[in-house]
């Protein structure tokens, strides 16, 4: 078992009646607020009007950056940072899903640099300890950005999609109202849910012996939640219980309460970021295609017992099988969850992706070295897994 530090000072307001607390959380930092949002869904569901009205009532001055892309671009981030510098913004309010919150975090970091450019920070791999405060209103259960220390920024000129991390990027407060995710269509619901599932899976022990039992237990609890409630949310988009379970699962998956000294591999995330960077596909769908193949690829004598445990605990795979057979059944259960229950297309070919850039993407994913994790570490490994996804 490894030593670890747990520290997450984010203050989460969860539920239907929490927005009344928004003005005070913003005023903790000042009166000039940059509101960041995406394509305008918050205008349709009333959230935008609610924010404007709350701001007005508290004499808060709102500035706006709209049109944040899924897979937010560094150019958009820089536009926001320029507003912060020009207007002397005190706090950034992100209203949306992980892309919008990630964009806000990028702005928060870039706004405190001399040239207001986020990309050198991203490329430099700096751990950000100085940034403007971010407050998040979450509308999509998926990335965990509402409670984590990360943003993922894309540069479409260079086909790069890279994480930017830092303790200063953890939101100061997050508002999570499951009702705001009612309007998400089944496909986005499924992709978001699989993102959550994979965040937990990436932290799961595959070392054969479970050394921190309670961590595994809690990880399995969150994965079972996703498996149970996602199909409900897809069928009944306004089912509060389903949306609430998924939304809190999203936060639990990446607020580091499930880390506890585990070796955070992120293999599937590293591989998927390349797919999104090259083809701009939906992150959770890319993960769903990769994950069962990755599990097959890493399955061997040392990892099969853990994969089998996952199958038993999360998908109800029967007891009493050999580790190899059990792991096989577990992987089949993960596949069925992705491609039957969630109804996601199962191959890269289905998404019109061929092997043209596989080598380049694989090398890119390891940045010339290797990724951390079990068995799948080198560009050769990654290329083979991409091939398995065709």
Give the footprint of a second copy on this chain (CB under 8 A): 1-18, 211-215, 217-218, 220-222, 224-225, 228-229, 240-241, 244-245, 248-249, 252, 257, 260-261
Minimum distance from CB of 205 to a second copy (Å)? Answer: 13
Which of 27, 324 has the CB closer to a second copy?
A: 27
Closer residue to a second copy, CB minimum distance, 78 or 245: 245
Edge-to-edge strand order for the sheet containing 173-176?
A: 61-65, 32-37, 91-96, 134-138, 173-176
**Side-chain half-sphere CA neighbours of 63 within 13 A:** 19
Closest to a second copy by CB, 216 vs 289, is: 216
Q: Which is nearer to a second copy, 10 or 381 (CB)?
A: 10
Smallest distance, a second copy to C-beta of residue 117, A: 32
| Smallest distance, a second copy to C-beta of residue 146, A | 11
C-beta of 224 vs 375, nearer to a second copy: 224
CB of 311 to a second copy, least distance (A): 17
Dihedral of CA 105/106/110/111: which sign?
A: negative
Q: Quick count: other Cβ atoms within 10 Å of Cβ 176?
A: 24
CB 308 within 8 A of CB 323: yes
Least Å distance between CB 390 and a second copy?
A: 36
Cα distance between residue 387 and residue 384, in whole Å: 5
Class of residue 69 by CB neighbours under 10 A (exposed 0-12, middle 13-18, buried 19+): middle
Separation between Cα atoms, residue 222 and residue 45, nearest integer Å? 28
Distance CA 147, CA 242 (A): 20
What values do phi and psi take at 62, rounded to 5?
-95, 130
Among candidate residues 198, 191, 181, the one with its CA nearest the CA of residue 14? 181
Nearer to a second copy, 182 or 248 (CB): 248
With respect to a second copy, which residue has the nearer C-beta, 217 or 301?
217
Q: What span, in angstroms and rounded, lies between the C-alpha atoms of 29 and 315?
A: 45
Closer of 154 and 256 to a second copy (Cβ): 256
Smallest separation, CB 257 to a second copy (Å): 6
In the bound complex, what is the minimum distance in angstroms from residue 244's beta carbon to a second copy? 6
The size of the chain, in residues, is 390
| CA 213/CA 210 separation, integer angstroms | 6
Can you state the angle between helices 213-235 and 186-202, rounded to 10 degrees?
170
Q: Are 354 and 390 in contact (CB under 8 A)?
A: yes
In whole angstroms, the minimum distance from the beta carbon of 58 to a second copy comes to: 19
Q: Which is nearer to a second copy, 15 or 237 (CB)?
A: 15
Reading the block at residue 258, the tokens are: 């499930």
283 contacts 227 by C-beta, under 8 angstroms: no
Shortest CB 85 distance to a second copy, Å: 29
């Amino acid at each position: 078992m490894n030593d670890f530090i747990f520290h997450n000072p984010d203050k989460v307001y969860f539920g239907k009646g929490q927005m009344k607390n928004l003005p005070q959380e913003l005023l903790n930092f000042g009166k000039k607020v940059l509101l960041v949002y995406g394509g305008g869904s918050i205008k349709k569901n009333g959230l935008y009007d609610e924010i404007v009205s709350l701001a007005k009532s508290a004499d808060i001055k709102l500035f706006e950056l709209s049109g944040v892309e899924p897979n937010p671009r560094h150019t958009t981030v820089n536009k926001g940072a320029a507003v912060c510098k020009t207007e002397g913004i005190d706090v950034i309010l992100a209203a949306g899903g992980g892309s919008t919150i990630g964009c806000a975090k990028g702005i928060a970091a870039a706004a405190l640099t001399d040239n207001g450019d986020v990309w050198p920070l991203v490329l430099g791999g700096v751990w950000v300890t100085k940034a403007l405060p971010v407050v998040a209103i979450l509308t999509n259960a998926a990335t965990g950005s509402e409670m984590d220390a990360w943003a993922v920024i894309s540069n479409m000129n260079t086909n790069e999609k890279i994480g930017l991390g830092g303790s200063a990027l953890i939101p100061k407060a997050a508002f999570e109202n499951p009702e705001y995710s009612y309007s998400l269509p089944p496909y986005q619901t499924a992709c978001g849910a699989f993102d959550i599932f994979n965040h937990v899976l990436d932290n799961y022990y595959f070392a054969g012996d479970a050394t921190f039992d309670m961590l595994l237990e809690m990880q399995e609890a969150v994965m079972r939640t996703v498996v149970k409630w996602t199909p409900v949310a897809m069928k009944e988009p306004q089912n509060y219980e389903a949306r609430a379970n998924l939304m809190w699962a999203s936060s639990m998956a990446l607020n580091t309460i499930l880390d506890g000294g585990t070796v955070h591999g992120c293999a599937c995330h590293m591989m998927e970021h390349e797919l999104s960077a090259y083809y701009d596909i939906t992150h959770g769908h890319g993960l769903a295609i990769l994950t069962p193949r990755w599990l097959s690829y890493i399955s061997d004598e040392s990892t099969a017992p853990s994969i089998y445990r996952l199958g038993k605990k999360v998908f109800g795979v029967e007891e009493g099988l050999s580790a190899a057979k059990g792991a096989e059944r577990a992987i089949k259960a993960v596949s069925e969850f992705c491609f039957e229950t969630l109804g996601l297309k199962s191959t890269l070919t289905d998404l019109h992706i061929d092997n043209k850039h596989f080598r380049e993407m694989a090398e890119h994913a390891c940045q010339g070295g290797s990724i951390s994790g079990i068995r799948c570490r080198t560009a050769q490994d990654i290329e083979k897994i991409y091939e398995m996804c065709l």
